Amino acid sequence: MNIKVLGSGCVKCKKLYVNVEVALKESQIEATLEKVEEINQIIDYGVMMTPGLVINEKVVSVGKVISPKDIIKLIS
């Protein structure tokens, strides 16, 4: 599984990244987690408002910080 957090490094983007880390640890699901901060790469996903969450190259959340609990639901 490949998970990407899209964002320029704002507070919300950092919080979403931490929430994904927590979700992965709690669920014990193996995944590659990366930050995408390059604006052109973010736009390539069609995301115009950050943070964005991409799971296996599919955008699943845009413009909000979702909880670890909700992230676990998305990755399960």
**Catalytic (active-site) positions:** 10, 13
Residue 19 to residue 29: CA distance in whole angstroms: 14
* Residue 63 per-residue DSSP state: S
34 neighbors 16 (Cβ within 8 angstroms): no
